[in-house]
Amino acid sequence: MLSATGIAGRSALVTGAASGIGRATVLALARDGVRVVAVDRQPVDEVCAAVAARGGTAVGAVADVADDASVAAAVDRAVTGFGGLDIAVHCAGVVSETAIADLERPEWGRQLDVNLTGSYVVSRTVLPHLVTAGAGRLVLFSSIAARVGGVNSGAAYVASKGGVGALGKWLARRYGGDGVTVNMIAPGPVDSPMTHGRDYAPEGYPVPRMGTPDELAAAVVFLVSDAAAWITGHTLDVNGGIFMN
């Protein structure tokens, strides 16, 4: 019989940990007994303190996910401090609504750097450690925008998140034999700092509201749990029924 999650005592690295889905993921994993390295370009003292107040373990690391050296330092903190790395969740991302006619190269580059290159850098850095763990779990974040071709999102964002889904499938096929699962989550609109000030009109959704960071974190916990050990290469749509596949 499988336990609720089976992940207590494992170690994890979570990017984008200062706010939104990343912060909620740190708290959810720690609540299930996972030791977490919380990574962000912004200070993560608050989320680490929140974990400690609940009796969990979380340490912070400042890193730019598109920079190999800073990501390597964050991963090393997990491996050195916790004796290995079992789980990696790449939540960090940036959003843009710019149409292609108005899209300049610097903005295109920034979207791809954080969303797609960041996924590559984090994956490439953590995978040797996930292989060593023997049952490693990697979760990347795509988007409903990549599933439906945008709607409220710009060209660079859609392209970058579409690339995340393709990269994740390649990684899942390559590393499944090493005991590592790689899955993606494609959120719909989530009430978080990234989406504040944007008009989503949730009253038209099948479930007529925006999602919450905690609901996305719950999806992460499932995908890294023992219950999901035979799921890999999958994009889990968490969107209140806006996109049904």
Tokens of 52: 């400690």
Give CA–CA dist 9/33, Å, rounded. Answer: 6
Backbone angles phi, psi at 137, to 5 degrees: -130, 125
Could you say which DSSP state residue 203 is in?
G
What are the C-alpha distances in Å from 126 to residues 15, 49, 195? 12, 25, 28
What's the CA gap between 234 and 122, in Å, rounded?
Answer: 19
- 210 contact partners, CB below 8 Å, separation of at least 6: 188, 189, 190, 191, 195, 200, 202, 240
Active-site residue (options: 157, 175, 200, 205): 157
Which tokens is 54 given?
A: 């609940």
Percent helix, strand, coil in the chain (nearest 5)?
45, 15, 40
> In angstroms, rounded to a whole number, what is the distance separating the alpha carbons of residues 156 and 108?
5
Q: Do 10 and 34 meet the contact criterion of CB atoms below 8 Å apart?
A: yes
Q: Which helix (H) or strand (E) holds 94?
A: none
Asked about 205 being catalytic, the answer comes back as no
- Cβ neighbours of residue 3 under 8 Å, at least 6 residues apart? 226
Strands 137-141 and 87-90, bridge-based pairing: parallel
Which residues are known to be catalytic? 157
